């Protein structure tokens, strides 16, 4: 029995519509109006929305890995709404349940129910077995923030405004409002969705487990490349309060660099980092566990 069973028709209808609009955006670029301005704007809008999920919804709101000034929080909330992944309050509630019950029944996007469930199936179905009262109790700290309460209350109009209206309005600057809305609105949205969803699916199925063997979470460079650093998921599940996912200097983690840069500008503070000795201890313990694990005989009977 999964945590979600009945189809959520509103989510299902919008997901289908968004994918059709994204497909038409490609046709529009190839057949009607090709514009480097539109493509460049789509990449920029996608980067801003992506950082709002990775640096805002995830590392700041869900895990409190650092503190942010109100202009930075407002930026995250506006472009997070454009990402159409629910309000920050609801997103953080689901994510905190995921971490508290990883791979167990309350986990809303447990990979134990299969790749497609973890990737997108859970979005298309209505909640079951996760009461609103329990979910709200997990985010009481966030409800104290008036900006988060504002975004939660006006999430739908904010999503429409920053997800479609603002891109179309900005696109008038180079004479392509429809293209800007299609590319920066819907094509960007669908690409961003699947990038975010890949953390729940691919990063729980493919990759290495250098820090924690018991969790399904894995480190995946491919997912890190798609999600601005979120792919170092085994490290994140072991040390979820660290503002970094890619802990090594050479790890591809633009979100880490973004948060660090924000701190240099006075927009972020109290960046939380796990001490190096704890990281080394986790690596050593995992290596020892792997060495002591029972091995299958080379010529096991069929």
Tens digits of pLDDT across the chain (302 residues): 444 568 999 999 999 999 999 999 999 999 999 999 999 999 999 999 999 999 999 999 999 999 999 999 999 999 999 999 999 999 999 999 999 999 988 899 999 999 999 999 999 997 665 556 566 788 999 999 999 999 999 999 999 999 999 999 999 999 999 999 999 999 999 999 999 999 999 999 999 999 999 999 999 999 999 999 999 999 999 999 999 999 999 999 999 999 999 999 999 999 999 999 999 999 999 988 877 766 554 444 43
**Measured in Å, how far apart are the chain's first and last C-alpha atoms?**
33
Q: For residue 142, tell me if it sits in a domain.
A: yes
Which secondary-structure segment (H or E) carries 126? strand 125-127
Contact 210, 235 (CB under 8 A): yes
What is the distance between the alpha carbons of residues 228 and 207, in angstroms, rounded to a whole number?
17
Q: Which residues contact 258 (CB under 8 A, 6 or more apart)?
A: 51, 55, 228
Whether 264 maps to a domain, the answer reads: no
Does 284 fall in a domain? no
Q: Is position 32 within any domain?
A: yes
- The neighbour count for residue 266, using CB atoms within 10 Å, is 9
How many structural domains comprise the chain?
A: 1
- Please classify residue 161 by burial: count the beta carbons closer than 10 Å to its beta carbon, then call 0-12 exposed, 13-18 middle and 19+ buried: middle
- The tokens of 157 are what? 């109009």
Instruction: Judge whether 182 lies within some domain.
Output: yes
Query: What's the domain range around 73?
Result: 4-206
Residue 137 lies in a domain: yes
Maximum distance among all alpha carbons in the chain?
71
Rounded to whole angstroms, how far apart are CA atoms 23 and 25? 5
Q: Helix (H) and strand (E) counts for the chain?
A: 16, 4
Do the domain assignments include residue 223?
no
Predicted confidence at residue 143, as pLDDT, reads: 95
In a domain, residue 110? The reply is yes
Instruction: Check residue 136 and give its pLDDT.
Output: 72
């Amino acid at each position: 029995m999964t945590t979600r069973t009945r189809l959520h028709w509103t989510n299902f209808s919008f997901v289908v519509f968004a994918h059709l609009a994204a497909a038409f955006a490609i046709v529009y670029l190839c057949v009607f109006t090709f514009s480097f301005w539109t493509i460049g704007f789509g990449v920029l809008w996608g980067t801003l929305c992506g950082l709002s999920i990775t640096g805002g919804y995830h590392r700041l709101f869900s895990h409190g890995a650092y503190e942010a000034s109100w202009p930075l929080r407002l930026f995250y909330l506006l472009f997070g709404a454009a990402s159409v992944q629910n309000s920050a309050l609801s997103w953080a509630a689901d994510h905190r349940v995921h971490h508290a019950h990883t791979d167990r029944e309350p986990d809303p996007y447990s990979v134990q129910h299969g790749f497609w469930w973890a990737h997108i199936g859970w979005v298309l179905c209505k909640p079951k077995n996760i009461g609103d009262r329990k979910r709200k109790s997990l985010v009481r700290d966030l409800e104290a923030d008036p900006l988060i309460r504002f975004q939660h209350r006006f999430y739908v109009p904010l999503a429409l405004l920053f997800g479609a209206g603002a891109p179309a309005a900005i696109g008038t600057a180079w004479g392509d409002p429809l293209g800007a809305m299609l590319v920066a609105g819907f094509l960007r949205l669908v690409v961003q969705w699947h990038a975010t969803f890949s953390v729940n699916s691919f990063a729980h199925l493919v990759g290495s487990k250098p820090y924690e063997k018991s969790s399904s979470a894995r480190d995946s460079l491919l997912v890190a490349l798609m999600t601005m650093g979120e792919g170092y998921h085994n490290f994140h599940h072991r040390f979820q309060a660290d503002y970094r996912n890619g802990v090594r200097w050479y790890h591809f983690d633009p979100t880490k660099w973004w948060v660090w840069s924000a701190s240099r500008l006075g927009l972020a503070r109290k960046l939380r980092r796990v001490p190096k000795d704890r990281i080394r201890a986790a690596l050593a313990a995992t290596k020892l566990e792997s060495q002591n694990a029972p091995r299958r005989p080379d010529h096991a009977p069929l």
